[in-house]
Amino acid sequence: MSDWSDVCPLCQKDDQVQKVTSIVAAGQASGSVSAGYYEGRSSSQTDLSKMLSFPSLSEPESKGMGCLFLVALVFAAFMVFVVANTDSREWASITPTNIIPAVLLTLVPVLCIVGMIVRARGNSARRERFKKSLASHERMRAPWQRLYYCYRNGVVFLPDEQPRSSADARNMMAYLGAHA
Protein backbone atom coordinates (compact mmCIF):
# COMPACT_ATOMS: atom_id res chain seq x y z
CA MET A 1 0.00 0.00 0.00
CA SER A 2 1.24 3.49 -0.85
CA ASP A 3 1.98 6.01 1.83
CA TRP A 4 1.05 8.71 -0.65
CA SER A 5 -2.10 10.66 -0.18
CA ASP A 6 -3.64 9.27 -3.38
CA VAL A 7 -4.87 6.03 -1.85
CA CYS A 8 -8.61 5.45 -2.01
CA PRO A 9 -10.29 6.16 1.34
CA LEU A 10 -12.57 3.13 0.86
CA CYS A 11 -10.24 0.31 -0.23
CA GLN A 12 -6.99 1.88 1.05
CA LYS A 13 -5.23 1.00 -2.23
CA ASP A 14 -3.73 3.07 -5.01
CA ASP A 15 -3.49 0.56 -7.88
CA GLN A 16 -6.84 1.63 -9.39
CA VAL A 17 -6.60 5.34 -8.60
CA GLN A 18 -6.09 8.05 -11.21
CA LYS A 19 -6.36 11.81 -11.22
CA VAL A 20 -9.70 13.01 -12.61
CA THR A 21 -8.14 15.58 -14.97
CA SER A 22 -6.09 12.75 -16.56
CA ILE A 23 -9.18 10.58 -17.02
CA VAL A 24 -11.06 13.43 -18.66
CA ALA A 25 -8.17 14.30 -20.99
CA ALA A 26 -7.56 10.68 -21.98
CA GLY A 27 -11.27 10.06 -22.57
CA GLN A 28 -11.66 12.74 -25.23
CA ALA A 29 -10.73 12.49 -28.89
CA SER A 30 -11.36 14.68 -31.91
CA GLY A 31 -10.24 14.80 -35.49
CA SER A 32 -11.08 15.93 -38.96
CA VAL A 33 -12.13 13.86 -41.95
CA SER A 34 -11.69 14.76 -45.59
CA ALA A 35 -13.06 12.53 -48.33
CA GLY A 36 -13.70 13.95 -51.77
CA TYR A 37 -16.04 16.90 -51.36
CA TYR A 38 -16.79 16.09 -47.74
CA GLU A 39 -14.88 17.70 -44.91
CA GLY A 40 -15.92 17.41 -41.33
CA ARG A 41 -14.87 17.24 -37.73
CA SER A 42 -15.80 14.62 -35.22
CA SER A 43 -15.25 14.18 -31.55
CA SER A 44 -15.98 11.54 -28.98
CA GLN A 45 -15.82 11.21 -25.24
CA THR A 46 -16.06 8.18 -22.99
CA ASP A 47 -18.95 7.93 -20.53
CA LEU A 48 -16.58 8.12 -17.57
CA SER A 49 -14.87 11.18 -19.02
CA LYS A 50 -18.26 12.85 -19.49
CA MET A 51 -19.31 12.02 -15.95
CA LEU A 52 -16.06 13.35 -14.43
CA SER A 53 -15.77 16.46 -16.62
CA PHE A 54 -16.12 19.80 -14.92
CA PRO A 55 -19.50 20.97 -16.19
CA SER A 56 -19.69 24.23 -18.05
CA LEU A 57 -22.18 26.76 -16.86
CA SER A 58 -23.92 28.40 -19.78
CA GLU A 59 -25.36 31.86 -19.50
CA PRO A 60 -29.16 31.86 -19.48
CA GLU A 61 -30.76 33.00 -22.68
CA SER A 62 -32.10 36.49 -22.60
CA LYS A 63 -35.80 36.17 -23.18
CA GLY A 64 -36.35 38.24 -26.28
CA MET A 65 -38.70 41.13 -26.25
CA GLY A 66 -38.76 41.51 -30.02
CA CYS A 67 -42.17 39.91 -30.37
CA LEU A 68 -43.78 42.14 -27.75
CA PHE A 69 -42.15 45.19 -29.29
CA LEU A 70 -43.38 44.18 -32.74
CA VAL A 71 -46.96 43.68 -31.51
CA ALA A 72 -46.90 47.06 -29.74
CA LEU A 73 -45.48 48.73 -32.84
CA VAL A 74 -48.06 47.15 -35.18
CA PHE A 75 -50.96 48.09 -32.92
CA ALA A 76 -49.66 51.64 -32.46
CA ALA A 77 -49.24 52.03 -36.23
CA PHE A 78 -52.71 50.60 -36.79
CA MET A 79 -54.14 52.96 -34.20
CA VAL A 80 -52.53 55.95 -35.91
CA PHE A 81 -53.84 54.73 -39.28
CA VAL A 82 -57.39 54.24 -37.98
CA VAL A 83 -57.50 57.59 -36.20
CA ALA A 84 -55.99 59.43 -39.18
CA ASN A 85 -58.50 57.93 -41.60
CA THR A 86 -61.58 58.40 -39.44
CA ASP A 87 -63.73 61.42 -39.12
CA SER A 88 -62.77 63.14 -35.87
CA ARG A 89 -66.45 63.51 -34.92
CA GLU A 90 -66.66 59.72 -34.74
CA TRP A 91 -64.08 59.64 -31.91
CA ALA A 92 -65.38 62.72 -30.17
CA SER A 93 -68.03 60.83 -28.25
CA ILE A 94 -67.82 57.32 -26.91
CA THR A 95 -70.59 55.10 -28.17
CA PRO A 96 -71.14 51.33 -27.98
CA THR A 97 -69.88 50.98 -31.54
CA ASN A 98 -66.49 52.60 -30.98
CA ILE A 99 -65.67 51.75 -27.34
CA ILE A 100 -64.18 48.30 -27.94
CA PRO A 101 -61.88 49.29 -30.82
CA ALA A 102 -60.80 52.41 -28.93
CA VAL A 103 -59.97 50.45 -25.79
CA LEU A 104 -58.15 47.71 -27.71
CA LEU A 105 -56.17 50.11 -29.84
CA THR A 106 -55.04 51.98 -26.76
CA LEU A 107 -54.63 49.12 -24.31
CA VAL A 108 -52.69 46.58 -26.39
CA PRO A 109 -49.59 48.76 -26.98
CA VAL A 110 -49.60 49.85 -23.32
CA LEU A 111 -49.81 46.23 -22.12
CA CYS A 112 -47.01 45.22 -24.50
CA ILE A 113 -44.77 47.99 -23.17
CA VAL A 114 -45.55 46.99 -19.58
CA GLY A 115 -44.76 43.37 -20.53
CA MET A 116 -41.42 44.45 -21.99
CA ILE A 117 -40.54 46.31 -18.78
CA VAL A 118 -41.45 43.32 -16.60
CA ARG A 119 -39.49 40.99 -18.86
CA ALA A 120 -36.44 43.29 -18.84
CA ARG A 121 -36.44 43.24 -15.02
CA GLY A 122 -36.71 39.44 -15.06
CA ASN A 123 -33.76 39.22 -17.46
CA SER A 124 -31.73 41.48 -15.19
CA ALA A 125 -32.53 39.36 -12.13
CA ARG A 126 -31.68 36.18 -14.05
CA ARG A 127 -28.29 37.65 -15.06
CA GLU A 128 -27.54 38.55 -11.42
CA ARG A 129 -28.40 35.03 -10.24
CA PHE A 130 -26.17 33.64 -13.00
CA LYS A 131 -23.23 35.82 -11.91
CA LYS A 132 -23.58 34.59 -8.32
CA SER A 133 -23.82 30.94 -9.37
CA LEU A 134 -20.87 31.40 -11.75
CA ALA A 135 -18.69 32.61 -8.86
CA SER A 136 -19.55 29.58 -6.69
CA HIS A 137 -19.20 27.28 -9.70
CA GLU A 138 -15.69 28.60 -10.40
CA ARG A 139 -14.70 28.14 -6.73
CA MET A 140 -15.25 24.41 -7.26
CA ARG A 141 -12.75 24.28 -10.14
CA ALA A 142 -9.65 24.28 -7.88
CA PRO A 143 -10.79 21.27 -5.81
CA TRP A 144 -11.88 19.50 -9.03
CA GLN A 145 -8.33 19.83 -10.38
CA ARG A 146 -7.01 18.02 -7.27
CA LEU A 147 -9.67 15.29 -7.41
CA TYR A 148 -8.84 11.57 -7.79
CA TYR A 149 -11.02 8.69 -8.96
CA CYS A 150 -10.94 5.07 -7.80
CA TYR A 151 -11.95 2.66 -10.57
CA ARG A 152 -12.48 -0.16 -8.08
CA ASN A 153 -15.10 1.68 -6.01
CA GLY A 154 -16.34 4.29 -8.50
CA VAL A 155 -15.71 7.13 -6.06
CA VAL A 156 -14.00 10.50 -6.20
CA PHE A 157 -11.92 11.91 -3.37
CA LEU A 158 -9.59 14.73 -2.50
CA PRO A 159 -6.22 13.25 -1.49
CA ASP A 160 -5.18 16.02 0.88
CA GLU A 161 -8.41 16.10 2.83
CA GLN A 162 -8.51 15.25 6.52
CA PRO A 163 -10.51 13.32 7.61
CA ARG A 164 -10.57 11.25 4.44
CA SER A 165 -13.91 11.03 2.67
CA SER A 166 -15.21 10.13 -0.74
CA ALA A 167 -18.35 10.42 -2.83
CA ASP A 168 -19.92 8.43 -5.62
CA ALA A 169 -18.73 9.86 -8.93
CA ARG A 170 -22.30 10.79 -9.90
CA ASN A 171 -22.39 13.12 -6.86
CA MET A 172 -19.07 14.77 -7.70
CA MET A 173 -20.37 18.34 -7.87
CA ALA A 174 -22.15 18.09 -4.52
CA TYR A 175 -18.93 16.69 -3.03
CA LEU A 176 -16.93 19.55 -4.53
CA GLY A 177 -19.47 22.08 -3.29
CA ALA A 178 -18.94 20.83 0.24
CA HIS A 179 -15.15 21.19 -0.14
CA ALA A 180 -14.89 24.43 -2.14
Assigned domain for 60 exists: no
* Distance from C-alpha of 104 to C-alpha of 71, rounded to nearest angstrom: 12
On whether both 131 and 163 belong to a single domain, the answer is no
Assigned domain for 46 exists: yes
On whether both 133 and 156 belong to a single domain, the answer is no
On whether both 92 and 117 belong to a single domain, the answer is yes
Assigned domain for 120 exists: yes
Domain of residue 125 covers 66-137
On whether both 81 and 122 belong to a single domain, the answer is yes
In sequence order, the β-bridge partners of residue 44 are 29
Find the range with the poorest average confidence among 53-62, 98-107, 158-167. Answer: 98-107
Number of domains making up the chain: 2
Assigned domain for 126 exists: yes
The predicted pLDDT at position 161 comes to: 79
* Distance from C-alpha of 158 to C-alpha of 126, rounded to nearest angstrom: 33
- Note the pLDDT tens digit of each residue in 134-148: 888 888 888 899 999
Crossing angle, helix 99-139 and helix 66-84, to 10 degrees? 160
On whether both 129 and 150 belong to a single domain, the answer is no
The predicted pLDDT at position 23 comes to: 92
On whether both 102 and 113 belong to a single domain, the answer is yes
**What is the DSSP secondary structure assignment for residue 17, as one 8-state letter?**
E
Residues sharing a CB contact under 8 Å with residue 98, sequence separation 6 or more, in sequence order:
90, 91
Assigned domain for 59 exists: no
- Note the pLDDT tens digit of each residue in 31-82: 787 777 788 887 888 889 888 998 887 776 766 666 667 777 777 777 777 7
On whether both 119 and 146 belong to a single domain, the answer is no
Mapped onto helix, strand or coil, the DSSP state of residue 167 is strand
* Distance from C-alpha of 8 to C-alpha of 83, rounded to nearest angstrom: 79
